[in-house]
Structures are given as structure tokens and as C-alpha cells.
Amino acid sequence: MATVELTKDNFNDTLTDNDFVLIDFWASWCGPCKQFAPVYEKAAEENPDLVFAKVDTEDQQELAASFDIQSIPTLMVVRDKTVIYAQPGALPKDSLDDLIKQARELDMEEVRKEIAKQEADGSAS
């Protein structure tokens, strides 16, 4: 599946309609973004069951700001509408493959329990 261009108009629907979404925040003037693009495209080809999306931070400044994107490229992984990974920097292919593997193996039930626990601890103080 080709990468999906995310905008503020289709962002929520894309995350709601898909259990596993990778998002590349990028800009056309960004050298590391250009280096990462073919790695990201290759991963998209190799993982057709996942949604690979891109956010052009120049075109979608509001969306980038809502995620406090300070540096690009930034890769975000969202499972079940929960951000499980968000880091700036262009990953080499092996690292991206490993990240996808780890994200696939993550027990989302455990993640939800941990988030609920952290939220409860935060509101208790």
C-alpha cells in the first residue's frame, strides 16, 4: 500500500479506522527527511497490512503543532489510537524494521493498563 498523505481533514478518520498507523512528519526542504523517505516507502511495501502515513509539516502546520513536532523527520507509531512511539530522527532500515516488529508484538492491553495507572497516579497527587 502506498503511503497516505495526512491532513487535518483525514487525520482522525485514518487513526480511528486503522489499528496500526505509522506517521512520518517531514518537509520538502529537510535533507534527513529526503534520506528517510525511501526507507519509509520500502517498509510500507514490506508491511502492506499497516498504514504508512506522511504529514507535510509545512502544509499541515496546525497538525504538526498539535503533536508538538520540534524536529523533523519525526516518526510516530499509533496503535489502537494510542501513540506508542514518537522520536525525531531518520532511522536506518534495520532500526525501522525492528521498531515495526516490536510495535507489532506489543501487548496493547498492558499498554492501556499502564496508561490508566499513570493517569490515576497523576490525578491522585
Closest C-alpha among 77, 70, 73 to residue 38: 73
The tens digit of pLDDT for each residue in 64-100 reads: 999 999 999 999 999 999 999 999 999 999 999 999 9
pLDDT score of 1 more than 70 = no
Point out the residues that are catalytic: 30, 33
Length of the chain: 125
State residue 124's pLDDT score: 60
pLDDT, position 30: 96
77 bridge partner residues: 22, 85
Q: How do residues 24-53 score in pLDDT, each as one tens digit?
A: 999 999 999 999 999 999 999 999 999 999
Cell 492491553: give the residue: 109
97 vs 1, 14, 23, 93, CA distance in Å? 16, 22, 15, 6
The answer to whether the pTM exceeds 0.95 is no
24 three-class SS: strand
Q: How many degrees, rounded to 5, is the angle at CA 82 between CA 19 and CA 56? A: 85
pLDDT above 90 coverage of the chain, percent: 81
Domains located in the chain, CATH noted? 4-124 (3.40.30.10)
- Give mean pLDDT, residues 93-120: 91
